[in-house]
Structure 1
Amino acid sequence: MKLRIECPPCLVNRAYVESEKASMDPEVRLRALLEAVRQIGYNIRPDVTPAYLGTIRDRAIKQASDNPDPFKEDKAASNEAALRLMPIAQGYVQNGADESERLRRACLVSIVGNAFEFGIRGYEFSYDDLPRLIENAEKDIAIDDITKFELICEKVEHALLLTDNAGEIIFDKILVGQLKRMGLRVAVAVKAAPISNDATMEDALVANMAEAADRVITTGTDSVGLLIEECSKDFLNTYTEAGLVIAKGMAHYETLSESRMAQPHIFLFRVKCTAIGSDLGVPLGKNVAYLVEPEPLEGQGASS
């Protein structure tokens, strides 16, 4: 998704929120904010993705504030909240009538986990909302490709899950476990270093993701979303070999929707900004399970 008119003010608002989190010193906060705004202004063009600018913004704030992880406290609180709610989330999934229903519910719980977010203009989040969001997950779904997703799961051997936020990764573990029960081999990728409130290997350890997944790896970089040109060779090999990619969060939609996808990608997230909502025709606060299948290469038609 390319930059939309709603994006620049949101990017700057997030820079303000993050700069305040990065330091208690007003001078450092202002220096970080001004550097982030300067970098956004220098790099902004109509043909870039919001996530690309978000990456530049967050790196500028980390460097200017000398704080490698401005959202450290928020991430810890998110993980604690998710762990407290795991019995509710697991019960919701396990009460599904059959394996198909349990996969569906695991997807919905994973999407609800994407509510863990801070600093998005016009979006408010409270940990107290999570039980209600789980209860309403089914009726809140606006794009529902979960049945198509299940059919693909039955055909492929390897899946890759691209995580988004801390806290959310703990709910993702339920989905990974369900995929494993279907016989898939599942790799899970986290960010190589802190960026925004995205999950890193530290959060994967809190979630005990290695208990569910076959492999837990990093993307090799700290980008918002997935900037392919920055990723490690190990990650790219895993990404290329996967028969199915599960991409969590809006930033993965922003970045990957602009690239040619060689395998099916399902985007699982909660719509938290008007730009994404407008792009997909989905209201704010709704759940999305959007499957994108690869287009035939030029000169190749669909098989008969």
Structure 2
Amino acid sequence: MKIELDCLPCTLRMALRNARLITDDIGLQRKIMIEVVKSLQSINWNLIPIELAFLVNRVITEATGNPDPFKELRRKSNDMALKIYPELKKVVESSVDRLETAIRLSAAGNSIDFGAYVQPDLHESVQRAMREPLSINDYEEFRRRALEAEHMIYFLDNAGEIVFDKLLIETMLDVRSKPFKSITLVVKGGPALGDVIPEDVRYVGLDKLPNTRIKCVSNGVEGTGPSMSSEVVRGWIREHGLRVFKGQANFETYDDETDSFFILMVKCPIVARAIGAPMGSLILKHSR
């Protein structure tokens, strides 16, 4: 997907939310907003939406002089999710279909997003996931592929949310009764708002899953990895039999990838239109 006009006011709201998250200094908040507005004046309309988030991240990083201004917030998000992990595990283990339940919870975990929300109510998100059906639910195909695939690539999204992803992958391994030959976890190669970076993977223990490796894509800064939409990354995708993309940004970037699974909460009217589901929907979509 390419950016649209509606992406611009959304970017400004994202910038304001995140400026307020990292500083109480009104002068610094104003500086961040002015610099974001200036950057948007010369925007390239061929960008993918996540590159606007990278723009906001770059402005905040430069304005604060802090190379990782969201480090503490990512840690708090991880701790918040880890705190309820035992409860989530019990929900999965006591359910009729453990894998489907873990998928629902993973989609609900996508509510943890600095770009879209400030502080989600995780208990409410979990209760809603168990109460309401997925608006798009390609579960049977996902289950079949999860049982048969030997190699999985999983594009992670946000800190905190990855605890829900950990639970999903653990449940997949349990239902399979055997490990994947390889699990490739794709994260940003450098800080970008609340997006997962390698230290977050290690912090929540995702790297301890069998046959797991981490690959990094760019956060918009040179030297942090290949561009998300590059042929290099597309090549990684084609090497795996099971392809899972978590969250809106990964849907926006890879919606043209066939034979892939997208797990997300719809938080944007453009995505709602593209995916064919209302705002707030929880989604498990297979692209054919």
Q: Report the TM range for the smaller structure's normalisation.
A: 0.7 to 0.9
Q: Please list, as runs of the form range in 1=range in 2, the aligned pairs for 1:247-286 lying within 5 A after superposition.
A: 247-257=245-255, 259=256, 261=257, 264-286=259-281
Partner of 2:50: 51
Q: Report deviation, 1:70.
A: 2.8
The CA deviation string for residues 212-235 of structure 1, in whole angstroms up to 9 with x for no partner, is 2522313242259x943569x6x6
Partner of 2:202: 205
CA distance in 2, matches of 1:131, 1:25: 32
| Secondary structure of 1:76 counterpart | helix
CA distance in 2, matches of 1:17, 1:206: 25
Q: Which region of structure 1 is more displaced relative to structure 2, 151-160 or 178-187?
A: 178-187
Give the structure-1-normalised TM-score.
0.82
| Secondary structure of 2:41 counterpart | helix
* Pair 1:216 & 2:202 matched: no
Give the structure-2-normalised TM-score.
0.86
Q: Please list, as runs of the form range in 1=range in 2, the aligned pairs for 1:7-86 lying within 5 A after superposition.
A: 7-45=7-45, 47-86=46-85
Distance change (3 Å), C-alpha of 1:222 and 1:134: same
CA distance in 2, matches of 1:292, 1:106: 20
Q: Please list, as runs of the form range in 1=range in 2, the aligned pairs for 1:126-145 lying within 5 A after superposition.
A: 126=120, 129-138=121-130, 139-145=132-138
Which stretches in structure 1 are left out of the alignment for 5+ residues? 294-304
Q: Is the 8 A contact 2:187 2:215 kept in 1?
A: yes
Q: Is the 8 A contact 1:189 1:217 kept in 2?
A: yes
The CA deviation string for residues 192-221 of structure 1, in whole angstroms up to 9 with x for no partner, is 111010111121122111222522313242
Q: Which region of structure 1 is more displaced relative to structure 2, 57-66 or 22-31?
A: 22-31
Q: Is the 8 A contact 2:229 2:253 kept in 1?
A: no
Q: Report deviation, 1:35.
A: 2.1
Percent of aligned pairs with the same residue? 28
The CA RMSD measured in Å over matched residues stands at 2.5
Q: Which region of structure 1 is more displaced relative to structure 2, 135-144 or 84-93?
A: 135-144
**Structure 2 residue aligned with 1:104, among 97, 100, 106?**
100
* Pair 1:172 & 2:168 matched: no
CA distance in 1, matches of 2:55, 2:166: 29
Query: What residue identity is the alignment partner of 1:159?
Result: M
CA distance in 2, matches of 1:175, 1:152: 14
Q: Is the 8 A contact 1:267 1:289 kept in 2?
A: yes
| Secondary structure of 2:183 counterpart | strand
Query: What residue identity is the alignment partner of 2:261?
Result: I
Query: What residue identity is the alignment partner of 1:80?
Result: D
Distance change (3 Å), C-alpha of 1:238 and 1:280: closer
CA distance in 2, matches of 1:248, 1:175: 12
Q: Is the 8 A contact 2:18 2:115 kept in 1?
A: yes
Q: Report deviation, 1:85.
A: 0.8
Q: Is the 8 A contact 1:22 1:67 kept in 2?
A: no
The CA deviation string for residues 147-203 of structure 1, in whole angstroms up to 9 with x for no partner, is 111122233210011110010111111111122231323222222111010111121
Which stretches in structure 2 are left out of the alignment for 5+ residues? none
Q: Report deviation, 1:238.
A: 4.2
* Pair 1:287 & 2:282 matched: yes
Q: Is the 8 A contact 2:107 2:283 kept in 1?
A: yes
Distance change (3 Å), C-alpha of 1:57 and 1:13: same
Q: Report deviation, 1:25.
A: 4.2
Q: Is the 8 A contact 1:22 1:29 kept in 2?
A: no
Q: Report deviation, 1:119.
A: 4.4
Count of aligned positions: 279
Distance change (3 Å), C-alpha of 1:251 and 1:223: farther
CA distance in 1, matches of 2:248, 2:115: 14
Partner of 1:228: 228
Q: Is the 8 A contact 1:191 1:219 kept in 2?
A: yes
Partner of 2:153: 160
CA distance in 1, matches of 2:7, 2:194: 19
CA distance in 2, matches of 1:49, 1:81: 30
CA distance in 2, matches of 1:26, 1:136: 36
